[in-house]
Amino acid sequence: MANNLITIDGPSGAGKSTIARLAALRLGMRYLDTGAMYRAITLACMRAGVKLGDGEAVAAVAKQAQLRCELSLDQPMKVFLGAEDVTGKIRTQEVTRNIHYIADVREIRDLLVAMQRKIGENEEIVTEGRDQGTVVFPNASLKIYMFALPEVRAKRRYNELVQRGQQVSYEEVLQDVAKRDYLDMDREVGALRKAPDALEIDTSELTPEQTAEEIVKLAKSRLAMRTRKIDKNTLDRMRKTSGLS
């Protein structure tokens, strides 16, 4: 593999997105949010009004969705459906509850995996999801498997949704986390698995900054990568968009 590539896999709510962004910032790499890609296709299917359990129908929508991702060194990944920026619109609880329909369709997974690999060919990236180190990038430079207690993950997700102004209860979010775990690990395609050569990190009692620093240390020691100083304004902006402030 020509480029350094770090994969972070793990269950929903383990903090993968925030931590991947922080690690990417410190390492001068771009961050690929694969979950956002599936969320965007879910949103497209919901808007199209197709039956989400109909694999052929949702696959047809995905092929016509004109999904596009913009990766940046210092900004969150932006997601577009055609010319529309849907980066903020894909983070609702409704999308979260329906995403498993989309992630279970092999044609959609094949489509998005091909997109992810293409991005990995041209960029040095930190990428996160469920199967990045097992299926998408089996030859990644460094693989991390990140996890946390379900109650901790539910609390994090609840705080994130409340901060965005959504009306949800903690109990509701905890139930969604449990359901998502079951669905993610029981999938026929793209199931959540730990790669044999992945290093485990339990984030239950770690802050995002502490976890990201662990990954940075591993990258520096195992890949001989260098870190960079992060501009305070960039870090403050990142904190706001990730719910860290």
Structure tokens at 233: 């304004």
pLDDT at 243: 45
CA distances from 81 to 69, 95, 242 (A): 9, 15, 22
Q: What is the pLDDT of residue 190?
A: 76
197 vs 106: CA distance, rounded Å: 25
With beta carbons less than 8 A apart as the criterion, state whether 32 and 169 touch.
no
pLDDT at position 2, please?
A: 52
Spell 189-226 as b/e; 16+ CB within 10 A means b: ebbbbbbeebeebebeebebeebbbbbbebbeeeeebe
In the chain the domains, ranked by start, together with CATH numbers, are: 5-230 (3.40.50.300)
pLDDT at residue 191, rounded to an integer: 81
Q: What is the mean pLDDT of each run of 10 residues along the chain (245 residues)?
A: 83 86 92 94 98 96 96 90 96 90 92 96 91 94 94 90 88 90 81 92 92 93 68 56 45
Q: d(Cα 173, Cα 231) in Å, to the nearest integer? A: 34
